[in-house]
Structures are given as C-alpha cells and as structure tokens.
Structure 1
Amino acid sequence: MPEMSCWMVTGERQASRIRSLYLKTILRQDVGFFDKEINTWEIVGRMSGDTVLIQEAMGEKVGTFIQLTATFVGGFVIAFIKGWLLTLVILSSIPLLVLSGAFMGILISKMASSGQTAYSVAATVVEQTIGSIRTVALFTGEKQAIANYNNSLIKAYNSGVQEGLASGFGMGSVMLIVMCSYALAIWFGGKMILEKGYTGGEVINVVFTVLTGSMSLGQASPCLSAFAAGQAAAYKMFETIDRKPEIDAYDTNGKQLHDIRGDIELKDVYFSYPARPDEQIFDGFSLSIPSGTTAALVGESGSGKSTVVSLIERFYDPLAGEVLIDGINLKEFQLKWIRQKIGLVSQEPVLFTCSTKDNIAYGKDGATTEEIRAAAELANAAKFVDKLPQGLDTMVGEHGTQLSGGQKQRIAIARAILKDPRILLLDEATSALDAESERIVQEALDRIMINRTTVFVAHRLSTVRNADTIAVIHRGTIVEKVHILILFK
C-alpha cells in the first residue's frame, strides 16, 4: 500500500506539472491559434478531463502494472526451473497474447481519443449556454440547448460503447488464449509424465506458476487501457505544448527603448486573417499617424478598421509590408515591452469575475490603490464606484453583468489608463452606449487622449469631431483623408 500511495502522489505531481506547462503554453500562443485551431472549452476540457486520464496512467496504475508484470515474470522463471520443456511449450501461446493485447490497446486508444473530443464539444455547448443564460432564457432556448447537449453526447456515448466492446473482446481473447494454454499444458504435462519421467508435482507446479503468471498478465489489461487513454490525452496536450507560436509573447529578445514617441505607420501592408486566408483584407495598405495626434478610422463594416488596431497591437503580423512605431518595425521590439506602451479599449469591454479594483489593476503589475483610484478618476468612474456597496471591492459579476454598459466601459478605460500608454487604441468604444453614457465616456476619453497618439474606430460624428485626422477606409483602402482640425476647431 505505501508503494501505491507513492505512485499516486507521483502521478498527481506529474499531472499538475503537465497542466501548468499546458496553460503556460496556451497563454504563449498567438491570437491566430485561437482563431482557427482551438476553442475555450476544448482547452478547459483538456486541463480538467485529459489531465485526470494522464494522472491515472502515470499514478497508481503504474505500480499495479509493475507488480503484475513482476508476478508474470517470476511465475515463468519458476516454471522454467521446475520443467523447462513443458514451460517452453506453454510459451508458444505468448505471441498470441501479445498481439491480442496490442490490438486491444490500439483500439481503446483511438476510441478514448474520439470520446475526449466529443466530450469537449459537449462542454462547449454547456459553456455557451450557461455563459449566455440571459439570452437563452429570453428566447426560451432551454429545450434547444438540452437537445444540442444530448446530440453532442451521442458521439461520446458511441465512443464509450466501442471502447467497452474493444476492451471486452480484447479481454475475452486474452482469456481464451490463456485457457487454451492450460489445456495444452495439461495434455503435454501428461505426456511428460509418461515419456520424460516428470512427476505429477512438477507438472502441477509448472501449470500453477504459469497460471499465476498468465492471470497476472490478464489483470494488467485495465492498466494497459489506462495507459492507452492517458497516451491519447497526452498526445493532444503535448502537440500543443510543442507548438512554436509565430508571435511569441514569452520571447525576451527584441528592442527595449527608454520610451517611445508614438509615431505610427503602416507601410504597404498586405494582410489576410489566418482563419480566412483566401479573403484579402489589405492589399498594399498605408497609413501614417504622427506622435501626439488623434486619428479616426471610419468606414463601413468589414472595411478593415479594426484590423488596423489588431496589427498595431501585433495580434497578427502582415503577410507583407511593415507596421512601424517610431520608424522601427514592430517585429523588432520585445513583444511584452511594446504592448505595455499600448492601451486598448474595445467596443465590448471584457471584465473578469472579480472586484472592480482587481479589474482595473489588471492593467499594471503591482498597481497601488492610489494609482487605481487615480485611473478611475480620469476615466470618470470614481463617482459610480464610490456608490457601489463595497466601493472598489465590489464584485462585478460574471463578465461584469452587475454593471451597466457605460460603467463597464469606464472600468475598461480606467484599466487602459493605469498602464499610462503612449499609444491608445479605441475600437468603437462608445458605439453601444446611449447618448448620456456616450457623453460621460467621451469626456473620459477626451481627458486621456491628451499627449498620446490615439487611434479610434468610430461611426458617430460626435466621436470623430475631436480628431485631428479622419481616414475613410473602404475595402481595405484609404479612399479619403481629412484634417478635421480645420472644420471644427
């Protein structure tokens, strides 16, 4: 028992290390990886379900398998000593045992992999349903959600049935070969007594030691099933772990300057999204934004406005051309350092299920309470935060559901302000707000745009009138560029 406990602890430790390494690798990947190769709940499913399978394969089952294997080997060693000729004849069945066990292991591994994929799809359905429970309830989509979940489980059920059949037939084949071996042993043992002078005790000794060894081999079958399932789970996880991202967030190489001025230039850029490589977004796109100015990008949906923001943030790299900051190619900077100089506020602010303070503090490592409060003041968020039940320590709910749209947007602005970025990117930051909320948020934005290079995507005149330059984008091309300073200021 102590040995089993030791193996269990070792398995848990190794599974924890793999889980930690997997998460670290996932966070290292570029945005294109999440666009086309994996989804959220596939990651969660692997970290929760697959690591359990790996833990079983590396834990108690290893100790059990070693014990049963030692019993198998020891039994045949004793059998050879007591009657080598009879044991040699019985050994003729071993290749059949090995082949049936290997075939069973391959089938179980494939079925386990298919089942894990099916359960990942089912988990995605649950996540989407629970995460959007208000929408589901609004459209009375509960039955549809249950039907989708049940349909997702059908594949998992079929995989489980097939895995059980493979295990059953495999185990049955093993036991059939074992019993045939006993019949052969008894028949040949009788001949040895008559022809070679074996005693009955020696024959019984050989048969029982081979019997014990063979039964141990049969009992090792569940261990082999666990190893096969763990191998299938580990293969997927290590496939991701071994992946080298094109844009590496952990890469420590690259330039780190004392500071940047904030000059932005997109020079003859060609770009297509990884998930849609056949759809050309930019075909020789060029744009220049001087330091300290405010540029507005306007145009119809799908024209490429938000793509400009994604390229400046280096979520993606252009297929050709350059994205320059202060005349230096964005690829030459250390990614973590340059992203600390860029702030982003999106149309749909992402808040975490934690306190208001923690959501704002996410913008800067080691931020003090004074810095957080100052950022809230600049973002026009301090007044409503102080009115919350616990002030900055008030929980915002899942995805910020306890706050209004304008309040969430101001928290997101405060988070961006906290890092004091030289470049501020606003991707339709006020488009989803009512007139009053837009006015308050716009006041906050006007405060923080001073002495920064600001790029914002907008549709409303009230938003763009404070810009220095308006660039009209149509199908990935700038069709007009207007200096709005002359018109409104």
Structure 2
Amino acid sequence: MAGDEEANGKDAAMNDTNHSTASSTKKKSKAKPQQLATVGETLSFVWECGSKVRFLLIFGSFAAMLNGLVYPILAYLFSSAFADISSAENEGLKQVRELAYTFMLVGTYALICATIQGWCFEIVAYYGSQAFRLQWFRALLRQDPAYFDVRDIGGLAAQIGPNAGKFRRGVGRKMGEGIQFFTTGVGGLAYAFFSSWRVALVILAIIPFVAIAAMATVFYNQSKGKRAAASYKTAGSVAYSTVSAIRTVLSLNAIPSMVERYQEATSEAYELATQVLIKIGFANGSMLGTFLLLYAALTLYGSALLYRDVE
C-alpha cells in the first residue's frame, strides 16, 4: 500500500510538472514580440560617451537646422530675383551680377553648414557605435552558461557587426539628414503660406499621396533587408559551426553536406531579397508618378491664378 501511494504521488508530481511545463510553454508562445528601442534608448549610447560627444551632437544638430534652411532661402531668392530682372530695363546686367554673388554666398553658407553637420555626426556615430559594441559584448558576458546552450552563438556573433553598422549609419548621416529635411519642410511650408496660401493648400492636398508612396517604398526596402539579414544569419551560423568543429567535420567527411547547407541558406537569402523587387518597382513608380502629379497641379493652378490676377 505504501508503495502504491508513493507511486501515485510520483505520478501526480509528474503530471503537475508536465502541466506546469506545458503552461509555461504556452505562455512563452503567447509572449508578445520584443518592442523596438525608443529614440531615448538609442541615443543613450551616445549620451554616455561624455560631454565632448554631447556637445558635438548638439552643435551638429544646430548646423543641420541651418543647412535645412538653404532650400527655403533659394525659393525666396528665385521668386524675388526673376521679378527684379523682369522689372529692370537698363540695369539688367547689374541685377544678374548681384544675383550671381548672392548665390555664391548661399552656396558657401550651405557648404560650411553641411561640412560641420557631417563632421559632427560622423564623430558622434563612431563613438556611439563603439559604445554599442562594448555594451553588447558585456551583456553577452553577463549571461549564465545555460543561455549559450539555447542560443545560436554563431548567429549572435555574426549580428554584432551589421547591427553596429546600422547604428552608426542611423545616428550619423541619417540622423543629420532627418533634422535637415525636417527643417527644410517646416521652412518650406512657412514660406509657401507666406507667398500664396491657395497654392500651398492645393499642394498639401496632394502631399498625402506622395507620403503613402514613399512609405511603401521605404517599407519594402526595409523588409527586404531584414529578411535577407535573417537568412544570412543562418548562413553565418553554419559557417561558424563548421569552422569551430572543423576536425569533427573532416573526420566524418561532412564537408559536402555543410557546403550544401550553406548554399541552401544563401539561396534562401537571395530568394527573399528578389521576391519583393516587383513591389519595390511599383512603389518607386508610384512615388515618381505622384511627384509628376504634384508638379502638374502646381503648374496648372499657379498659371490659372496668374491669369486671373492679370485679367
């Protein structure tokens, strides 16, 4: 009787263990995907590099905003210069000379601002990417041995370099261009409403179509890169496991099978990268078509307004 009770107790314990394991597996399967890092978390790698890097980040952002004002300034110069040249009778060459000198000054201003912007953001991106690599490596070293038993170490090692490169491009040139183009957009809208609010409203009505086409283009390009990176991660894992266990591979004469696995991984990356080419081409064509629609509406409606004012 005692043996039967002990056996029943063991069976009950095993059932409880299996139930808890199944429930934990279900919880893991229902777990939400990991969220993307916020802007503050991304810039924290740069902010921890010291006061020098912080100053370069702020100074580069200021230079990017000044660089973004170049196109609104050019729009103002074009609109005022042609009016001055058309109204001038005997001093037309003088007006052209002054306009040429003005454009030279604007070009020098743009060159200085763009140089400072690129210099500051490239230095900031270099230090930020180095801090990113170090913190990633420290995070790997903090894990217990069980972590490396359930994770693909070769894939993790192959992802450090590409992700650090993406971080450097994003915090460097992309971030500077983002501040620059945002300033250009705000300044352009301000000058457009100042010059002709009716034309500005027509343009704003077409802008959403341009934005949708541009977002589709960016989405397909990014998804292609992400899927290809995941496939190349598998290929890197195969290469790492082969090189790290080369003696075992040679002793088992498994080189052809490993080469076949590597070819399958790279061919999968190629197929994933080429499947969306038609969609990318359609998105690019739609974006260019919306630009043509924008120019046509601007030309036709602007000409109608000029004709109405002259009449």
User: When the two structures are superposed, what TM-score results if normalisation uses the length of structure 2?
Assistant: 0.57
> Residue type matched to 1:76 in 2?
L
Selected match of 2:232 from 95, 103, 119: 119
CA distance in 1, matches of 2:147, 2:251: 33
CA distance in 2, matches of 1:88, 1:52: 41
1:31 aligns with 2:145: yes
Partner residue of 1:17?
Answer: 131
Higher strand share: 1
Q: SS where residue 19 of structure 1 aligns?
A: helix
Partner residue of 1:63?
Answer: 176
Q: Structure 1 residues 31, 134: CA separation in 2 closer, same or farther (over 3 Å shift)?
A: closer
Partner residue of 2:285?
Answer: 172
CA distance in 2, matches of 1:32, 1:140: 30
Partner residue of 1:159?
Answer: 272
Selected match of 1:44 from 153, 157, 174: 157
Q: SS where residue 59 of structure 1 aligns?
A: helix
> Residue type matched to 1:85 in 2?
R
Task: Tell me if the contact between 1:112 and 1:159 (Cα under 8 Å) persists in the aligned partners.
Answer: no
Partner residue of 2:250?
Answer: 137
Task: Tell me if the contact between 1:107 and 1:166 (Cα under 8 Å) persists in the aligned partners.
Answer: yes
For structure 1, the residue ranges without an aligned partner over 5 or more in a row are 199-489
Q: SS where residue 29 of structure 1 aligns?
A: coil
Count of residue pairs brought into register by the alignment: 197
Selected match of 1:105 from 196, 203, 218: 218
Partner residue of 1:2?
Answer: 116
Matches within 5 A, 1:353-432: none
Selected match of 2:206 from 93, 96, 101: 93
- Cα RMSD between the aligned structures? 2.4
CA distance in 2, matches of 1:131, 1:50: 23
> Residue type matched to 2:141 in 1?
L
Q: CA deviation at 1:166?
A: 5.1
1:422-470 C-alpha deviation (Å, 9 max, x unpaired): xxxxxxxxxxxxxxxxxxxxxxxxxxxxxxxxxxxxxxxxxxxxxxxxx
Q: SS where residue 116 of structure 1 aligns?
A: helix
1:396-429 C-alpha deviation (Å, 9 max, x unpaired): xxxxxxxxxxxxxxxxxxxxxxxxxxxxxxxxxx
Task: Tell me if the contact between 1:4 and 1:64 (Cα under 8 Å) persists in the aligned partners.
Answer: no
Q: CA deviation at 1:57?
A: 1.3
Q: Compare CA radii of gyration and give the structure with the larger one.
A: 1
Q: Structure 1 residues 108, 60: CA separation in 2 closer, same or farther (over 3 Å shift)?
A: same
Partner residue of 1:343?
Answer: none
Selected match of 1:147 from 219, 244, 260: 260
Task: Tell me if the contact between 1:112 and 1:163 (Cα under 8 Å) persists in the aligned partners.
Answer: no
Q: Structure 1 residues 162, 66: CA separation in 2 closer, same or farther (over 3 Å shift)?
A: farther
> Residue type matched to 2:200 in 1?
T
Q: Structure 1 residues 167, 65: CA separation in 2 closer, same or farther (over 3 Å shift)?
A: farther
Q: CA deviation at 1:147?
A: 1.9
CA distance in 1, matches of 2:286, 2:156: 37
1:254-293 C-alpha deviation (Å, 9 max, x unpaired): xxxxxxxxxxxxxxxxxxxxxxxxxxxxxxxxxxxxxxxx
Partner residue of 1:194?
Answer: 307
Q: CA deviation at 1:44?
A: 0.6
Task: Tell me if the contact between 2:228 and 2:269 (Cα under 8 Å) persists in the aligned partners.
Answer: yes
Matches within 5 A, 1:234-249: none
Q: CA deviation at 1:163?
A: 5.9
CA distance in 1, matches of 2:278, 2:259: 28
Partner residue of 1:302?
Answer: none
Q: CA deviation at 1:192?
A: 0.8
CA distance in 2, matches of 1:61, 1:168: 23
Task: Tell me if the contact between 2:227 and 2:273 (Cα under 8 Å) persists in the aligned partners.
Answer: no
Further displaced range: 118-127 or 140-149: 140-149
The percent identity for this pair of structures is 23
Matches within 5 A, 1:408-487: none
> Residue type matched to 1:47 in 2?
I
Q: CA deviation at 1:164?
A: 5.2
Q: Structure 1 residues 166, 55: CA separation in 2 closer, same or farther (over 3 Å shift)?
A: farther
Task: Tell me if the contact between 2:203 and 2:298 (Cα under 8 Å) persists in the aligned partners.
Answer: yes
Q: Structure 1 residues 16, 127: CA separation in 2 closer, same or farther (over 3 Å shift)?
A: same
Q: CA deviation at 1:194?
A: 2.2
Q: CA deviation at 1:190?
A: 2.0
Partner residue of 2:33?
Answer: none
CA distance in 2, matches of 1:117, 1:76: 41
Q: CA deviation at 1:65?
A: 3.0
Task: Tell me if the contact between 2:154 and 2:241 (Cα under 8 Å) persists in the aligned partners.
Answer: no
> Residue type matched to 2:179 in 1?
I
CA distance in 2, matches of 1:148, 1:97: 43
Task: Tell me if the contact between 1:126 and 1:149 (Cα under 8 Å) persists in the aligned partners.
Answer: yes
